[in-house]
Amino acid sequence: MKRINFCLGILMILGAMAWPLQSHADSSSEEIPADQSSDASMQADFLSAHTEPVVLDGITLFRVRGISTFPAEARADEIADRIKTLAADKNIPVDTFKLAKHDLGTAIMAGDQMVMLVVEPDARIEGVKAELLASIHLKSIKTAISRYRADRDPGSLLRASAYALAALLLCALILYGLFRIYRALDVKLRRYYRTRLDDLEIEGFKVLQAEHMWAALRGALGAVHGLVALTVAYLALSFALRQFPVTRGAAAGLLDVLVSPLVVMGSGLLEMIPDLVFLAILMILTRFVLKTLKLFFGAVEQGAVTVSGFDAEWGTPTYRIVRLLVIAFALVVAYPYIPGSNSGAFKGISLFIGVIFSIGSSSFVSNIIAGYAMTYRRAFKLGDRIQVGDVLGDVTSIRMQVTHLRSPKNEEIIIPNSTLLTTHVVNYSKLAKTEGVILHTSVGIGYETPWRQVEAMLLMAAERTPSVLRSPEPFVLQKSLGDFAINYELNAYCDRPSEMNRIYTELHRNILDAFNEYGVAIMTPAYEGDTEQPKLVPRDQWYTAPAKPAE
């Protein structure tokens, strides 16, 4: 009561402050000072901006204002509680509700109990006298109390239950009928139309497949069925809830529950239209730039366009790098226009994704960087035969993270690009086409065999091998003078490194044949025993066939 009296005192003060201003304006021809007129206007705007409805059983009776110390919401709740308490007490007849004069305005009384007080600022904002506003409120209160008591009469509740049950049963029957109709239409469409649907083609190109058209047709039918069923269920549920006073408010807000999200999304979409238009234009421009870059670098890779100091094989990887930069720039430009980009949730999720990506993608990023580094270092290209550590194979694919090799045993070997960057890579094909790659093999021959004869036999074996190049010519190196044998190394050029294994086999076969023809034993592996005669080559045997003296 102290709080109510205090708030009523505040209202009285406001009325006392406002009333002299009005009287002064009516009785005097002098102009109201600008500051006083502004204060009165601000007071009226403040009170009119803060209104709350007085609601009973989901029905709004009227709206009330408040002040900073007694907000409109608190005032409306207290008035609604008093009306509900009085309505629940059937011992208080409706006829006992009347108007009474009060020091602060006009009071609405129920016997000796005050229901509410209508003060002059309330009436002045509505543009009527306090007595008239109070009489209108009194009529609304009497009607609400009569309806409150009538709705809770046992006969009314029984009748409301019957209506609600009938509405729900009718809704169930309609929903069942709609389901049967939907099933019948689906069967009919499946039987008569699905088999007749053909792919939509334009000059042999399938624009739309028959399965997609059938799925769209069924989806449209299902959407119509769902929308009609939802409408019927809403109408039935709303009707059933309106039959009971306790749930009448929920029925009034049921449509808002369904429509409010759509209204919010629709209004938000309308607000975002300028940003969406900007994003659409930016996306079109970005796609145009990317297509132009792809055509340019594709022409570079095919040799139609030449750039000084730029290898043709760099076209595709360079396009990928430039594409990434263009997309990153487009995202930077588009970020402020993305719906919700300024919200804390969006920023938090972006930061979380960035942290997760940075933690879990170290090897991912290192492999990508290594792949591009190997490309621009010209270490190898598709089709080259390379050796990485103990792995030998032909390059079949160079991807962003891994490189695929095919071994001589027809095995696919996948090597991370970061491994290629930190391991020495031997490329047998790099110089094979221009200078040839050298195939080499070693044999150990005893000291009693003239070295000229050995070199001649090794060169003969190389000459008999078809895959060995004649130019540059093969040559022989004496690698070492061992304890029991001299180690000779035959070096021969070839331009087909992918056939190295086969060429080595042919070369070894020809070496064996040449040494067997001239009766020279290969001393590898070394032996432990020796004959009594020293193993020397007489001078007259230095040029034993097939060796020929130098001219």
Task: Determine if residue 15 is left, alpha or beta; phi over 0 gives left, psi from -120 to 50 gives alpha, anything else beta.
Answer: alpha
pLDDT band at 464; cut points 50, 70, 90 = very high
Q: What is the pLDDT of residue 364?
A: 64
Q: Helix 130-151 crosses helix 154-192 at what angle (to 10 degrees)?
A: 80
pLDDT at 479: 92
Tokens in use for 520? Answer: 């020279």
Please name the residue ranges forming H helices in 193-247.
Answer: 210-242
Rounded Cα distance, 500 and 346, in Å: 59
> What global pTM score does this model have?
0.42
DSSP state of 104: T
> Are 105 and 98 spatial neighbours (Cβ–Cβ below 8 Å)?
no
Phi, psi (5° rounding) for residue 381?
Answer: -145, 180
Predicted confidence band of residue 94 (pLDDT cuts 50, 70, 90)? confident
- The whole-number average pLDDT for the span 131-141 is 87
Euclidean distance between CA atoms 138 and 144, whole angstroms: 10
Instruction: List, in sequence order, every residue forming a beta bridge with 8; answer none if it has no partner.
Output: none
Torsion angle of the four alpha carbons 339, 341, 346, 350, in this order, in degrees rounded to the nearest 10: 120
pLDDT bin (cut points 50, 70, 90) of residue 45 is very low
Per-residue pLDDT at 358: 66
Alpha-helical runs (H) found in 464-550: 500-517
Rounded mean pLDDT of the chain? 78
Give the strand order in the sheet containing 113-119: 97-102, 105-110, 113-119
Q: Which of 424, 425, 313, 419 is nearest to 366 (CA)?
A: 419
Supply 128's token pair: 């009527």
The confidence score (pLDDT) of residue 524 equals 65
What does 527-544 look like in DSSP terms, one character per residue?
A: -S---SS-----GGGTT-
99 pLDDT higher than 50: yes
pLDDT at 465: 93
Predicted pLDDT at 505? 93
- Summarize pLDDT for 396-426 with one digit per residue, the tens: 988 777 889 998 888 899 888 878 777 888 8
d(CA 44, CA 37): 11
Minimum mean pLDDT range among 17-31, 37-51, 55-69: 17-31
Above 70 in pLDDT, residue 352? yes
pLDDT for 534: 55
182-208 tens-digit pLDDT: 888 888 877 766 566 554 444 444 445
Give the pLDDT confidence of 297-334 residue by residue, as tens digits: 888 888 777 777 777 777 777 888 888 889 989 988 98
- Indicate whether 536 pLDDT > 60: no
Non-local (6+) Cβ contacts of 304 within 8 A are: none
Q: What is the pLDDT of residue 185?
A: 86
**62-66, 189-193, 480-484 — which is least confidently predicted?**
189-193
